[in-house]
Amino acid sequence: MIFNCSAVGNFQSKIPYFSASKTGSTAVFRLSGFLIQDSTLQLGRRYGIALLLESSLLCIAVPLLNRNSIFGIYSASCACGLQNAMVSTYSGAVVRTTHLSGMFTDLGIFLGHSMRGVPVDMRRLRLCFLIITGFLCGGVGGAAAFYRLSYSALFIPATLTAITSFAYGIFHLRNRRNA
């Protein structure tokens, strides 16, 4: 992981327009903080807007990537960052959906706890397995989709995210009317 971070940092430092794109990324991260606002997932927040923005960033990335523009990578990365900001907590348990290494770290901690006889948070353990399984299935499915569709494969998660955004919006409106 450290080597990968170093390689990315080295690559980024050689791009003349890095500071402008870094500023744009920072703006997206601030926007996600404004939209999400809290560290605990609660219905009634502006998740629908954040999901729609995430979907838009993925859709914007496709034509940019097809033209070999580095901004396509930035757009897709911002979508990942927004996803991570949005789902960084779930019922008080910190969950980094774009950092699989943390899931394996948690599994190691749980294994150590069980070997010492310390109770293991089974809900968190199931969540780790669910996320790892999702990564594995998504990786296989994403690779197969990329093989057939190239960068247009990003339209698949963009569409699913947009559908989730609209479904959440409908749920939120119905919930507000019934309250």
**Average pLDDT, 10 consecutive residues per value, the chain (179 residues):** 48 50 50 49 69 96 97 93 71 60 84 89 86 87 94 97 93 82
Q: Residue 42's pLDDT is what?
A: 52
- State pTM to two decimals: 0.68
Quick one: which of 60, 87, 84, 91 has its CA closest to 74?
60
The pLDDT, as a whole number, for residue 44 is 54
CA distances from 140 to 17, 92, 133, 162 (A): 33, 30, 11, 22
Best CA proximity match to 142, nearest among 158, 130, 121, 162: 158
CA dist 167 and 138 (Å) reads: 22
pLDDT at residue 166, as a whole number: 94
Q: Let me know how long the chain is.
A: 179
As a whole number of angstroms, the distance between CA 132 and CA 110 comes to 15
Going from the C-alpha of 59 to that of each of 46, 75, 97, the distances in angstroms are 20, 9, 20
What is the structure's pLDDT at 13? 47
Q: How far apart are alpha carbons 38 and 44 in whole angstroms?
A: 12
Measured between alpha carbons, how far is 102 from 35 in angstroms, rounded to an integer? 25
pLDDT given for residue 74 in this prediction: 93
- Can you give the pLDDT at residue 146? 95
Q: What per-residue confidence (pLDDT) applies to 81?
A: 83
Burial label for 2, CB within 10 Å (0-12, 13-18, 19+), is: exposed
pLDDT at 82: 84
